[in-house]
Amino acid sequence: YSEKPTSGVGDFTVDRNSTATRVNFLGLIESVAANLPRLDYTDGNCPSLLLEPQSTNLFSYSQDYNNAYWAKANGLTVSTLGGGISPDGVNNADLITVNNGRLNKDLSVINGATYTVSVYYKGTFGETLNLLNNVITLTGDWQRQSVTFTTSSTFIGIALIDNRFSGTAASVEVWGAQLEQSSVATSYIP
């Protein structure tokens, strides 16, 4: 989708043929119908018009890590019952028991292209986990983390959690994984 100004200051035409998300005034992620502008409250109490480039979430099951789509290795387990309230305000976050394990998805990609992976985590303050070899320090609150990278082959393993060699998180709630062929993370695409 794309959202672009037409003519004149303050005149906008929204050209988006699908729903899209925004952060509402309560701080929750919510969907906005096709062809309606998105007023986003990410930066506080004053809304701003959310304009983003067209993008696609290349992950299926971006909220269901118990699904066989996601590989679990080295003792990592997923519980759909143990999670809590996710960033969209619904009780649908998965609880991951890390056990120094790995949660990943192998995908075909375009060699030499730039991708960004992003995911929401909530875990014990000060504990760490690894997202694509980047150490993430948990805050105790929901936090969206993203990593941008350029591929060097046509196949890649995306590890949302990989604590096989380092990382201290015993358990973490996870929600809203997104992989897009872009140099920036756009708003969450279910």
Q: Which of 105, 109, 102, 120 is nearest to 180 (CA)?
A: 109
pLDDT value at residue 129: 95
Radius of gyration of the chain (CA): 17
**pLDDT reading at 14 higher than 70:** no
Tens digits of residue pLDDT in 22-64? 888 888 888 888 888 888 888 878 888 888 888 999 999 999 9
User: Quick one: tokens of 78?
Assistant: 């997923």
Is pLDDT larger for residue 123 or for residue 13? 123
Place of tokens 């890649």: 156
**pLDDT reading at 13 higher than 90:** no
Q: Is 116 helix (H, G, I), strand (E, B) or coil?
A: strand
pLDDT band at 8 (very low <50, low <70, confident <90, very high): very low
What percent of the chain shows pLDDT beyond 90? 67
Is pLDDT larger for residue 11 or for residue 65? 65
> Distance between CA atoms of 99 and 62, rounded to whole angstroms?
22
Q: CA angle, corner 148, sides to 143 and 150, nearest 5?
A: 160
pLDDT value at residue 2: 41
pLDDT, the chain, mean: 89
Is pLDDT larger for residue 135 or for residue 53? 135
Non-local CB neighbours of 43 within 8 Å, separated by 6+ positions: none
Q: State the pTM of this model.
A: 0.85
Q: Can you give the length of the chain in residues?
A: 190
**pLDDT reading at 7 higher than 60:** no
User: Quick one: tokens of 124?
Assistant: 């014990």
Tens digits of residue pLDDT in 57-113? 999 999 999 999 999 999 999 998 878 899 999 999 999 999 999 999 999 999 999
